[in-house]
Structure 1
Amino acid sequence: MMTLVMKFGGTSVGSAQAMRGTAVLIQQTQRAWGQVVVVASAMGSKPVKVTDLLLNGANAAATGDGELYRQHAEQIRQIHFEAIDGLLSPEKERQQVLADNGTFIDRYEALCKAVCVLGELSPRALDAIGGMGEQMSVRILAAYLRELGFNSEAIDATELIVTDDNFQAASPDFDATREKVEGRLRP
């Protein structure tokens, strides 16, 4: 059986309404293909993109600004919680996704606080912060797809993609990545 990988950008997962439309496309495609793997970006639509908020807050923290990253964290929390509230109805699932995303936002704030204290934003920290938006959006989308009856699981790219330690300019290890992908995603 062939597997189709579908990639959705930030606008396609930028709100509850956008995720509903994305889910329809996934449903139609899955009927035709059978096995579908969905890759989603961080939530983003004009004028607010979650990745921009994450990175701008981290960069501000590196200059000693301890307030902007907190404001961005609250804005990110609001964006995600609105999507969760607009999509998820089973209380257990909703509470789990709220908790998971809350943990990511708390981690973001902790990293930014450390960056602010150190006055330095390392490439490793920047990579960790920059990927949090995707980690949050995939949890919302996967939960919504489960609610619609799909066998859906959020998997972080960090579980599948193997790179060297050249943060901000890493090179992939294709063989190790292929092995992880096949081991994790094959039915």
Structure 2
Amino acid sequence: MRHGGIPGSSGSVQALRRYGDPVLRQPCAEVTEFGAALSGLIENMYATMYAARGVGLAANQVGVALRVFVYDCPDDEDRRHLGHVVNPRLVEIGEELVVGAEGCLSLPGVEARTPRFDHAVVEGVDATGTPVRVAGTGFFARCLQHETDHLDGLVYADRLSGWRRRRVLRSAARAHRARS
């Protein structure tokens, strides 16, 4: 929900859940109630995403196990994509798999070259229940796939194998120990 024209301007920054938190591993529930609570969650998610300098954020990253994500993400042509999707489903992916740098607000400071499809389409609804269809290419397609993965209980490290996966998980474990 936009207040004053700027998403998140009336929201409160929430604590980010870090890798290892069980809420990041459970598939999120469908949203069934639309209203002030959902709009408030979306505002808080925008505020949190901007405070963390992210380009996307899933609800479970702030501890809410509902199928909602927000984004403010450029594509490869530097066109800005801004919005949110409630109950998103990845309905279409491209044919070309592209390996590119990917990070996550729940694994801060850790990045890895991760395979993602070059095109993605997500369908769902907005905060009022109005159907939305969001299509992206390049970096924005990566964002759509990344956030949808979160809502299915996955993190980008699950898309890695071998030494890349081990490196990311070791770095995440070190960061967790440093915070404890």
User: Which TM class, normalised by the smaller chain length?
Assistant: under 0.3
Higher helix fraction (1 or 2): 1
TM-score (ref. length: structure 2): 0.28
| Structure with larger Rg | 1
